[in-house]
A and B are shown apart, each in its own frame.
Chain A
Amino acid sequence: MLVPRKFARDASGMVGLVIVLTTAVVAVVAPRLAPHPLDAYESHPLQRLQAPSQAFPFGTDNLGRDVLSRVILGSRAALTVALLVVAGAMLIGVPLGLVGGYYRGWFSELIMRVTDVFLAVPQLILALALAQLLGPSLRNAMLALTLTYWPFFTRIVYAETRRIRVSVFVEALEGLNAGGFRIMFAHILLNAAPPIIVRATIGMGFTILSAAVLGFLGMGATPPDPEWGLAISESRQYLPEAWWFSTFPGIAIFLVVFGFNLLGDGLRDVVDPRLRRSR
């Protein structure tokens, strides 16, 4: 297999893969890994805002909860949100892009114009407005992010479909009387998969960032959930004394997003030689 070997030689892509896999493992075993798993919801007023020490390597927060445990437990929310949002956005965006790119006519035109409208407003602003309208909760934040992220998939799949539908093999399939549905989902989709996968990987990182912003602004996760953005927002009023309370959740966000971006970048270099960075 050429592709995995090519990827394995790409050092930064591998670093990304390692970070992402580590995060996934941490998220799965979080309740066992965290030194104080009950600190997700329990508070200990007597040990509040303690500086990092042997007992609490990342210190404690305003309610005396272990910051390290909450950072570890927060990986679950981050990955769940990223997976669900990206999957939901693909579920909406990919079929629309296939139909818009494969067929000609008013319906395709309508799909692409609506996509344009969504892309004309920065995603975060739209998601913020939507999340507020739906009412602040993690579920609604995910809904808002999904409803604003699908156009990115539609645009990519549209471009790919337009390119692929004029190729000889599609013409041959049409000649063999294959149905449009089958051509789109069994053949074109398979050939358009690489850029979709790259976009999804980078989208995971992007979604984690956006979800953290929503949490930070009070439009995502609700207390006492151990969510990173929410934790940073709670920590602001205890600065500059309790620096650890703000610092560590932010580093966690950075590391995970960094991992997904490196991975997406490495994948792009492998699947799209035109954009390869090391010529």
Chain B
Amino acid sequence: MLRFIVRRVLLVLPVLFGLLVLTFILVRIVPNDPSAALAGQNATPQQIAEIRTKYGFDRPLIVQFLIYLRQVVQADLGTSIQSGRPVVQDILQRLPATLELTFAALVLGAGFGIPLGVLAAVRHNTVVDHALRFFTVGGVAIASFWFAIMLQLLFSMQFDVLPLRGRLGTAIDPPAKLTGLYLLDSLVTGRLDAFRDALRHLALPAVTLCLGAMATITRFTRSGVLETLQKEYVLYEIAAGYPRWLLIAVYVLRNSLVATITQIGLLFGALLAGAVVVESIYDWPGIGSYAITAIFSSDYKAILAVTLLVGVVYSMVNILVDLVHGLVDPRVAADF
């Protein structure tokens, strides 16, 4: 098992290094000059040249890359051109908002997706199953930006029951910062007004983001349950006269959720990518909207940092998923 863990972690290192190279190359073949962007529209050539020297844009690419590498190792990702603050600081400040959103979407997706998947499997090849199939295929076919706008149109503009954008109303003070997750912090500090407001603001973005996840989870739960239902021990349990609900809820579900858990891990990366679009529509102050602003303003240190962060998080989640998989099913670990 230890060998499996070590090997799995070591395999990620070249990927992470490649990620650094890739993002660096990507951003350094920029057609629009970052120094010029930084200096502003009315800058003289001399000012641009000064900025170029100051930020090291004039050094050979390989030198710039080595400097960048050393900084990454020291967790120094440079200064954002937009905010003028260290990129790491920007990201740490915005990370909780994105985590809160993605977790909420994941909880919603699993909370509805798993029961729906079980339902589809139990009612296999009936109208319910076919209807759910259209739902799972359709859920990943909706453009999230359009869905977000439709939800805003309906719930914020037409009926005015939920806020249009943001994470908290202007009249409400944010709860004291413990984790940075508003829902958790406001509950712990007993700020029920903030909790209620944060929940209202979270509702539409979380629903938008969870749609694809819910569809995928439903689908994988369904096929997992169907597969388990074919196992001989289930046949035995049916023959032994176990109540159907007990059989499904306890014995079958537990054994069929392995594939779903793997999928939930993989979904995390998709959710982070989806957050980019969803956050920018709802003005959610997280990593996603930060990435969009950075991309638009050619803030290349910020772009590098976000891409790197997402890549690292995605790789880590994948390792975690493999480890869980290896723990549940020792054959996976033995294959390595």
Contact = CB atoms under 8 A, between A and B. Distances in A.
B158 A116 contact: no
A122 B272 contact: yes
Contacts of A243: 153
Interface string A229-264: 100100010011001001101100110011001100
B212 to A, nearest CB: 10
B273 A212 contact: no
Interface in B122-158: 124-125, 130, 133-134, 137-138, 140-143, 145-147, 149-150, 152-153, 157-158
A125 B157 contact: no
Contact of A258 (B137, B145, B277, B298): B137
A38 interface: no
Contact of B143 (A113, A123, A209): A209
A126 interface: yes
A120 interface: yes
A250 to B, nearest CB: 3
A90 B335 CA distance: 30
Contact of A133 (B18, B22, B26, B149): B26
Nearest to A12: B133
Contact of B280 (A130, A217, A262): A217
Contacts of A246: 146, 149-150, 153
A133 B314 contact: no
B19 interface: yes
B269 A239 contact: no
Interface residues on B, range: 35 or more
Contact of B18 (A113, A128, A239, A262): A113
Contacts of A114: 18
B310 A122 contact: yes
A128 B295 contact: yes
Contacts of B204: none
Contacts of B272: 122, 125
B292 A217 contact: yes
A116 to B, nearest CB: 5
Contacts of B303: 129
B307 A254 contact: no
A247 B150 contact: yes
A239 B153 CA distance: 7
B31 A134 contact: yes
A216 interface: yes
Given A113-B18, A212-B143, A122 B150 contact: no
A135 B31 contact: yes
A124 B157 contact: no
B15 interface: yes
Contact of A12 (B134, B158, B274, B291): B134
B230 A279 contact: yes
A118 interface: yes
B313 to A, nearest CB: 10
A254 B18 contact: no
A160 interface: no
Given A130-B26, A229-B143, A246-B150, A277 B311 contact: no
B14 interface: yes
Contact of B146 (A116, A205, A232, A265): A232
A117 B272 CA distance: 17
B121 to A, nearest CB: 10
Nearest to A263: B137
Given A120-B18, A134-B31, A239-B149, 7 more contacts: A116-B15, A121-B311, A129-B27, A216-B277, A253-B143, A261-B141, A277-B222
5 contacts: A120-B16, A120-B311, A122-B273, A217-B292, A239-B153
Interface of B: 14-16, 18-19, 21-22, 26-27, 29-32, 124-125, 130, 133-134, 137-138, 140-143, 145-147, 149-150, 152-153, 157-158, 222-223, 226, 230, 269-270, 272-274, 276-277, 280, 291-292, 295-296, 298, 303, 306-307, 310-311, 314-315
